[in-house]
A and B are shown apart, each in its own frame.
Chain A
Amino acid sequence: MRRSRAALSAIALSAVVGMVLTGCSQKSNTGSNGGSQASVGFPETQDLPPVAGKPGGTFRLGITEPTAIDPYNAQESEGILVNKALFTGLVNVKPNGDVYDGVASKWEPNADCTAWTFTLKPGQTFSNGEPVDSAAFKRGWERTSAKDSASDVAYHLNEIKGFDEMQAGTATTLSGVDATDPASLKVALSKPDCEFNLRTAAPPLAPVPTVAGAADNKAYNDQPIGNGPFKMDGPWQHDRGIKLVRNDTFGAGPKANLDAVEITITPADTGIQAEYDGFNNGQFDWARVPTPLLSQARSAQEPKNQWISKKTAGINYLLVSVTTKPLDTADARKAISMAIDRAAITQGIFQGSQVPADAFIPASFSKVYQPGVCEACTYNVDEAKSLAQKAGLTPGTEVNFQFNTGGGHEEWTAAVKQQLETNLGLKVTYSGVPFRDLLKNEQQPGATGLFRAGWTADYPTAGNFLTPLLSTAAIGAATPQDVAVGDNRGRYSNPKFDDLLAQAAATQDEAKRDDLYKQAEKIAIGDDLALIPLFARQQFRMANTAMFGNVRMDFWENPTLSEITLK
Chain B
Amino acid sequence: MARFIARRLVQAVLVILAATFLIFLATFALGDPFASSGEKAVPPDIAEANREKFGLDKPLPVQYLLYVGNMLRGDFGIDFDQHRPVSQLLEAAVPNTVRLAIVAIIIDVLIGVIAGVIAAVKRYSFWDVLVTVIATLAIGIPVFVIGVVLVANVSGWGPFPSVPRSFTVQVPWYQEVLLPAFTLAIIDAAFIARLMRGSMLEVLRADYIRTARAKGLSERRVIGKHAMRNSMIPVVTYVGVSLGVLFGGAIITETIFQYNGVGYLLSRAIVNSNAPIIIAVVVFSVVAYVLISMIVDILYAFLDPRIRLG
A interface residues with partner B (beta carbon < 8 Å)? 1-5, 9, 60, 62, 65, 67-68, 75-76, 147-148, 150-152, 154-155, 167-168, 216, 221, 237-241, 243, 262-270, 274-275, 277-278, 281-284, 434-437, 439-440, 443, 453-454, 485-487, 489
| Interface 9-mer from B33-41, B115-123, B212-220 | B33-41
Q: Which of A1, A155, A268, A434 has the most CB of B within 10 A?
A: A268
Q: Does chain A have a CB within 8 A of B258?
A: yes
For A168, the chain B residues whose CB sits under 8 A away are 45
Q: Does chain A have a CB within 8 A of B132?
A: no
Binary interface encoding of chain B residues 49-92 relative to chain A, with 1 for a CB under 8 A from any of its CBs, else 0: 11001000000000000000000000000000111100001000
7 contacts between A and B (CB under 8 A): A150-B53, A237-B167, A240-B260, A264-B167, A267-B258, A284-B166, A434-B31
- Taking residues whose C-beta sits less than 8 angstroms from the other chain, chain B's interface range is 35 or more
Tell me the complex Cα distance, A270–B37, Å: 20
- Give, as a whole number of angstroms, the nearest-CB distance from B149 to chain A: 14
Given A150-B50, A151-B46, residue A485 in contact with residue B41 (CB < 8 A): yes
Contact present for B40 and A281 (CB under 8 Å): no
Further 7 A-B residue pairs, CB within 8 A, beyond A147-B49, A284-B166, A437-B31: A3-B37, A62-B164, A150-B46, A150-B50, A168-B45, A216-B83, A486-B41
Given A5-B272, A434-B31, residue A266 in contact with residue B258 (CB < 8 A): yes
Instruction: Select A76's contact among B38, B42, B50, B268, beta carbons within 8 Å.
Output: B38
For B272, the chain A residues whose CB sits under 8 A away are 5, 268
The 9 closest A-B pairs by CB, nearest first: A3-B38, A241-B167, A268-B271, A152-B37, A264-B167, A150-B49, A269-B271, A278-B164, A274-B164
For A150, the chain B residues whose CB sits under 8 A away are 46, 49-50, 53
Number of A-B residue pairs with CB-CB distance less than 8 Å in the complex they form: 125
Contact present for B46 and A154 (CB under 8 Å): yes
Contact present for B35 and A436 (CB under 8 Å): yes
For A154, the chain B residues whose CB sits under 8 A away are 43, 46
Chain A: CB-nearest residue to B41: A439
For A65, the chain B residues whose CB sits under 8 A away are 81-82, 268
Given A75-B38, A154-B46, A237-B167, residue A436 in contact with residue B32 (CB < 8 A): yes
Instruction: Select A485's contact among B38, B39, B44, beta carbons within 8 Å.
Output: B44
Tell me the complex Cα distance, A234–B33, Å: 31
Instruction: Select B35's contact among A238, A282, A439, A454, beta carbons within 8 Å.
Output: A439
- Give, as a whole number of angstroms, the nearest-CB distance from A102 to chain B: 25
Contact present for B38 and A4 (CB under 8 Å): yes
For B253, the chain A residues whose CB sits under 8 A away are none
Chain A: CB-nearest residue to B44: A485
Chain A: CB-nearest residue to B49: A150
**Prevailing SS type, chain B contact patch:** loop
For B169, the chain A residues whose CB sits under 8 A away are 283
Tell me the complex Cα distance, A152–B169, Å: 34
Binary interface encoding of chain B residues 7-43 relative to chain A, with 1 for a CB under 8 A from any of its CBs, else 0: 0000000000000000000000001100111111111
Chain B: CB-nearest residue to A60: B166
Q: Does chain A have a CB within 8 A of B237?
A: no
For A489, the chain B residues whose CB sits under 8 A away are 41
Chain B: CB-nearest residue to A68: B82
Tell me the complex Cα distance, A221–B258, Å: 25
- Give, as a whole number of angstroms, the nearest-CB distance from B144 to chain A: 12
- Give, as a whole number of angstroms, the nearest-CB distance from B222 to chain A: 51
Given A434-B31, A437-B31, residue A277 in contact with residue B267 (CB < 8 A): no
Contact present for B166 and A440 (CB under 8 Å): no
Tell me the complex Cα distance, A434–B84, Å: 25
Q: Which of B35, B38, B43, B164 has the most CB of A within 10 A?
A: B164
Q: Which of A155, A278, A281 has the most CB of B within 10 A?
A: A281
For A274, the chain B residues whose CB sits under 8 A away are 164, 258
- Give, as a whole number of angstroms, the nearest-CB distance from A380 to chain B: 31
Contact present for A240 and B167 (CB under 8 Å): yes
For A454, the chain B residues whose CB sits under 8 A away are 39
Contact present for B164 and A277 (CB under 8 Å): yes
For B267, the chain A residues whose CB sits under 8 A away are 267, 269
For A152, the chain B residues whose CB sits under 8 A away are 37, 40, 42, 46
- Give, as a whole number of angstroms, the nearest-CB distance from A230 to chain B: 15
Q: Which of A62, A267, A269, A486 has the most CB of B within 10 A?
A: A267
Q: Does chain A have a CB within 8 A of B162?
A: yes
Tell me the complex Cα distance, A520–B303, Å: 83
Binary interface encoding of chain B residues 167-189 relative to chain A, with 1 for a CB under 8 A from any of its CBs, else 0: 11100000000000000000000
- Give, as a whole number of angstroms, the nearest-CB distance from B97 to chain A: 14
- Give, as a whole number of angstroms, the nearest-CB distance from A157 to chain B: 12
Chain A: CB-nearest residue to B88: A238
For A281, the chain B residues whose CB sits under 8 A away are 156, 162, 164-165
For B258, the chain A residues whose CB sits under 8 A away are 266-267, 274
- Give, as a whole number of angstroms, the nearest-CB distance from B279 to chain A: 18
- Give, as a whole number of angstroms, the nearest-CB distance from B20 to chain A: 24
- Give, as a whole number of angstroms, the nearest-CB distance from B145 to chain A: 15
For A3, the chain B residues whose CB sits under 8 A away are 37-40
Q: Does chain A have a CB within 8 A of B264?
A: yes
Q: Does chain A have a CB within 8 A of B255?
A: yes
Binary interface encoding of chain B residues 142-167 relative to chain A, with 1 for a CB under 8 A from any of its CBs, else 0: 00000000010000100000111111
- Give, as a whole number of angstroms, the nearest-CB distance from B277 to chain A: 11
Contact present for B31 and A67 (CB under 8 Å): no
For B167, the chain A residues whose CB sits under 8 A away are 237, 240-241, 262-265
Q: Which of B49, B89, B260 has the most CB of A within 10 A?
A: B49
For A264, the chain B residues whose CB sits under 8 A away are 164-167
For A221, the chain B residues whose CB sits under 8 A away are 82
- Give, as a whole number of angstroms, the nearest-CB distance from B101 to chain A: 20
Chain B: CB-nearest residue to A406: B271
Tell me the complex Cα distance, A240–B260, Å: 9
Tell me the complex Cα distance, A487–B89, Å: 35
Instruction: Select B84's contact among A2, A238, A268, beta carbons within 8 Å.
Output: A238
- Give, as a whole number of angstroms, the nearest-CB distance from B78 to chain A: 10
Contact present for B260 and A239 (CB under 8 Å): yes
Chain A: CB-nearest residue to B156: A281
